[in-house]
Amino acid sequence: MPYIFLKKLNRLIIYTILLLNIIISVDVYAYNNATCINNNIYLEDEFNRELYLQTIREIENKHWIKSKELIHKIIVIRPFGEIYKQSLINLIYVKWQNGEIEEALTDIEQFQKKYPGANNMDYILYMKGLINFSPKESFISFFNKDIFLEKDVKKMQNAYKIYDELIQNFPNSKYIEEAKKLLNFTKNSIAKNELNIAEYYFNKEAYLASINRANNIIENFKESPYSCKAKQILEKSYKELNMNINICTNK
């Protein structure tokens, strides 16, 4: 028993460290691009340059409301050029940080339609994935054993597709390694949610439902760390239905 406990504790510690690293890495990557200043922006007229730099300072200080005000001011004064495009991107970042999720996603959709060939489209996809499903949400869920709502599961699935799109279409992007980590992370989060649901149904003695959920993990997330646990639930569920089938061979 002590060995099993220590083994589980060790897995928990490793998972927590990995998850915290992802969260920190995500914040750094998203922040760095939102506060970047390229030469095209820097060489524009003095007033707009100073206004833009003031906006960056507000973002750096995490003053989201003030940042939004300044960004909107730039957009009105200079509705074209690089400073305009970068301000639209900054606005997405600021809204995300300010908890305006749906608004940020709407802005992304509009940006993609207006600038389908933008040089920083890889960052737009990166942010779109993050906004759909943040590692911070999974971190809270992991310790609370929460079951995500259906709409949240759809967001996770959307995030998975978005990261895959980024990887396929921008293989040389500086966000590629982050996207791969987040792709795997999102896939595992979906699998873990399915496992939580399978366990819930098993505890409620709804064995057919737990079998369906466990099978989904085994068939679609077989490389996830939750695959063997799903097999155990599957085996126990069959046993409760008087169907003794030895399924979990990978313990």
Q: pLDDT band at 47, cuts 50/70/90?
A: low
CATH architecture of residue range(s) 125-251 = Alpha Horseshoe (1.25)
The structural domains of the chain, with segments of one domain joined by +, span 125-251
128-174 pLDDT, tens digit each: 998 988 666 555 555 555 666 777 788 889 999 999 999 999 999 98
pLDDT of residue 1: 46
82-128 pLDDT, tens digit each: 888 889 999 999 999 999 999 999 999 999 999 999 888 999 999 99
Asked whether residue 209 carries a pLDDT value surpassing 70, the answer given is yes
pLDDT of residue 218: 94
pLDDT of residue 83: 83
SS (H, E, C) the chain: CHHHHHHHHHHHHHHHHHHHHHHHHHHHHHHHHHCCCCHHHHCCCHHHHHHHHHHHHHHHCCCHHHHHHHHHHHHHHCCCHHHHHHHHHHHHHHHHHCCCHHHHHHHHHHHHHHCCCCCCHHHHHHHHHHHHCCHHHHHHHHHHCCCCCHHHHHHHHHHHHHHHHHHHHCCCCCCHHHHHHHHHHHHHHHHHHHHHHHHHHHHCCCHHHHHHHHHHHHHHCCCCCCHHHHHHHHHHHHHHCCCCCCCCCCC
pLDDT of residue 234: 94
